[in-house]
Amino acid sequence: MFAGRASQKEENKHQGWWLIEAVHHLNMPCSRCAFLPNTTTNLEVMLRIFHAQASLRARSAVRKVNATAAQRVWSKSGTRSLSNQQHPHLPRRPITPNELTAAKAQLEAVSGELPSSPVGPAIGFNAPGGGGGGNGVRDAVLTTVVGVIVLFTGGIVYMAWYKENVLWKIEQAFSAGYDPALELAKNAIKKPAEAADPSANEELEWDLEGPWTQHLRREEQDLIDRIIQGKEIGHYFILLGPKGTGKTTMVLDAMQAVQAEGVAMCDAHPDLEVFRLRLGKALNYEYNEDTQTGLFQRRDPREGGPALDIERALNKLEKVALKHAKQTGKPLILVLNNVHYFNHDDDGRNMLLQFQQRAEAWAASGILTMVFSSDDFWPFFVMRKNASRMHVVSVYDLCAEDALTAARRMRLNARQRKESPEVLQEVVKIVGGRLTYLGKATKAPDMVKHARHMLAVEKAWLLSQIGLIPDCDDDVMDEQKWSSCSWLLLREFVRKHQQEIQRKQEAVAQGEAKAEELDNIDLPRISYYECRQIMTRPDFMDELDRKNIIAIDINHDVTPDSWLILHAAEEVVGEDGFDDLLDSVRDRVDEIESLHRTRELTFKDVDAGDRIRLTVDKGGERVV
């Protein structure tokens, strides 16, 4: 068949083609074949064929011997198809196992390797009645071992890369300009620029382009700037003050000054699962939810609850803080805003304690400074027990003079018409120095009218929370008990405020004080222990603080939450018959409690004319 080939090159090609055709025939079951081929061994033969084809070019003598064997096998196979489709069953002589074994031995000899099995009966092809060859077991073991090693090595490399990537992502969370809270503050909706009244600018005694916090730079802003810039090392801080005094605004202004470099901010939430996600967003940490190793984990990482996930996040944050402190010599800053949103229960207190423990350790090492902010008093009361490096920054309402200056500035920025100093002073007298209330009033066309409307709304809300019910039912006894105790405290605030006004007026009349001091009277203060005595139920004070009716500072002094609350309480207490109403409600509560303590004695089988005699002997022996 090959004798007609003129070129040696063509002969070399056909020397390899018959080998491929032979192996293809081995892998195709045939009804005329007396055996079933072993797939693993045949695949090995296929690989050796290509190696043999390269060796045939250098071994012409061996090529001639193999050409003869190839011609014989080619003529007996009955097909030239190299495809994987089943060949037609043409009439041909069956190939014996001995012939195939001999061909296999020749291939191994050509490739220069030792024979995998001795020449003789088929052993490596799993003939019927015979056992498997040694090559199949060896290759299976080697394949398994190599696969396990590759998989194990790849897993180690992936986990090392993933851990480094997690730390890198947290580092990016503290890079300049990343913080999500700062992005929201920077993209606030701005009104279009309009022509302002030039005469209004002349009344301002400050630089309009200067640094401001909510239209006025407060005295606490310098300390907040130093904290955010990483210059206050060795301590952690809690910002304590009523809602709307500007705590968050000062922090955001300080962050904007440094483009949030080295700072991250997160808002608290009553649901710890939601807080877990918020903390992960602030730190750019996914809690291993983006890893591809879930198939090899025996437990879900989130089975431990949000507290365990947050602990993992803090562990990663500690590594990043250590690296950052070594590189820059400055600590990272983590701000937890509105921690009073945590529930005042075991879970909320434990979460607060978890962060405080980290804050103490990080402050001692100087790698990270934590800043807590709260509108309520209870977080400070909880953290005070374990605090050794905690500093408290109290934020109060503005005084009358600063509030008047801020109101003028806000009125200018609101693009409203110019108001006289008397109008601004009247507004400040109603709403006080609370920046939130000043911002609402100064944006209204009629400032005084809107301020009085805010007072009416505050009074209605106050009565809806602690309004008195003269003849209440026993179902609302607990609510009325809380309301009556609250009005006892508010009435005392009103009395102290009236006494302070009377004292100031007498001082002005005697020439000991100026008339302007009547406008600079502070909110009345009562010590915490005196409030306990007035209310007779100290446990009610936490609820009043949570509802923003009263405010408690670090000196344990209690004040009304705002001037609106005080003015609303003055109107309610000043109504005719308020004292009688309060006394009647308290008497009704005592009556209901007395009824609950009363026991009814019932006698059965008593007929008409029967007499019952009860004797009470208070001087007799005690019966146990």
- The dihedral region occupied by 585, where left means phi > 0, alpha psi between -120 and 50, and beta the remainder, is alpha
Please state the rounded mean pLDDT for residues 235-245. 92
Range of the domain at 101: 8-132
The answer on pLDDT for 135 being more than 70 is: yes
- pLDDT, tens only, 48-63: 555 555 555 545 544 5
Sign for the CA dihedral angle at 340, 342, 345, 351 comes to: negative
Share of the chain above pLDDT 90, in %: 37
CA dist 437 and 439 (Å) reads 5
Residue 350 sits in the same domain as residue 403 = no
Could you read off the pLDDT of 154-205 as tens digits, one per residue?
888 888 888 888 899 999 888 887 677 777 766 654 544 444 444 444 444 4
276 and 309 in a single domain? The answer is yes
Pick the last residue of a domain from 419, 435, 466: 466
pLDDT in tens, 71-89: 554 454 444 444 444 444 4
Tell me what pLDDT residue 303 has.
Answer: 62
Residues 51 and 174 in one domain: no
- Note whether residue 528 is domain-resident: no
Q: Is the pLDDT of residue 46 over 60?
A: no
Give residue for tokens 């070129």: 7
Strand 390-394 versus strand 526-527 pairing type: unpaired
Residues 370 and 462 in one domain: no
Domain count, the chain: 3
Between 41 and 387, the more confident residue is 387
In this predicted model, which residue has the larger pLDDT, 38 or 59? 59
Pair (121, 167) in one structural domain: no
CATH number at residue 167: 3.40.50.300
Radius of gyration of the chain (CA): 45
pLDDT digits (tens, 9 = 90+) for 253-305: 899 888 889 999 999 999 999 999 999 999 988 887 777 666 555 555 556 68
pTM above 0.85, yes or no: no
Looking at residue 350, its pLDDT comes to: 94
41: pLDDT strictly greater than 80: no
* pLDDT tens per residue across span 379-408: 999 999 988 999 999 999 988 888 888 888
Residue 123, pLDDT > 60, answer no
pLDDT value of residue 108: 56
Q: Which one of 372, 395, 418 terminates a domain?
A: 395
- Mark whether 235 and 380 lie in a shared domain: yes
Q: Is residue 437 part of a domain?
A: yes
Residue 288 lies in a domain: yes
Residue 442 lies in a domain: yes
374 plus 428 within the same structural domain: no
CA 348 to chain centre: 15
Rounded to an integer, the average pLDDT of 327-337 is 93
Single out the residue in 395, 412, 446 at which a domain terminates: 395
* pLDDT at residue 64 tops 80: no
* CB atoms near residue 144 (< 10 Å): 10
- Between 554 and 134, where is the model more confident? 554
Q: Are 383 and 432 in a shared domain?
A: no
Q: Please indicate, yes or no, whether residues 338 and 239 belong to a single structural domain of this protein.
A: yes
Phi, psi for residue 391 in degrees, rounded to 5: -115, 140
| Confidence label for 617 from pLDDT (cuts 50, 70 and 90) | confident
Residue 105 reports pLDDT greater than 80: no
More confident residue, 576 or 122: 576
Asked if 232 and 366 sit in the same domain, the reply is yes
Residue type, 265: M
Does 341 score more than 70 pLDDT?
yes
Residue with tokens 């001087």, as numbered in its chain? 619
- Percent of all residues in the chain with a pLDDT value above 70, rounded to a whole number: 70
Residue 177, in any domain of the structure: yes
Residues 365-388 have a mean pLDDT of 93
pLDDT in tens, 465-518: 999 988 888 788 888 888 999 999 999 999 999 999 888 888 888 888 787 777
- Whether 104 is covered by a domain: the verdict is yes
What is the overall mean pLDDT for the chain?
Answer: 77
Question: Tell me, what's the pLDDT at 558?
Answer: 93
Domain membership of residue 429 (yes or no) is yes
* 547 in any annotated domain: no
Are 114 and 164 within one domain? no
279 close to 309: Cβ distance less than 8 angstroms:
no
- 283 and 308 co-located in one domain: yes
**Nearest to 586, CA basis, from 490, 486, 492:** 486
Distances (CA, A) of 506 to 6, 355, 356, 501: 134, 52, 50, 9
Q: Which residue has the tokens 């001795």?
A: 118
Model confidence over 547-604: pLDDT tens digits? Answer: 999 999 888 899 999 999 999 999 999 999 999 999 999 888 888 887 777 777 777 8
Judge whether residue 226 has pLDDT over 70. Answer: yes
Looking at residue 37, what is its pLDDT? 44
What does the alpha-carbon distance between residue 252 and residue 258 come to, in Å, rounded to a whole number?
10
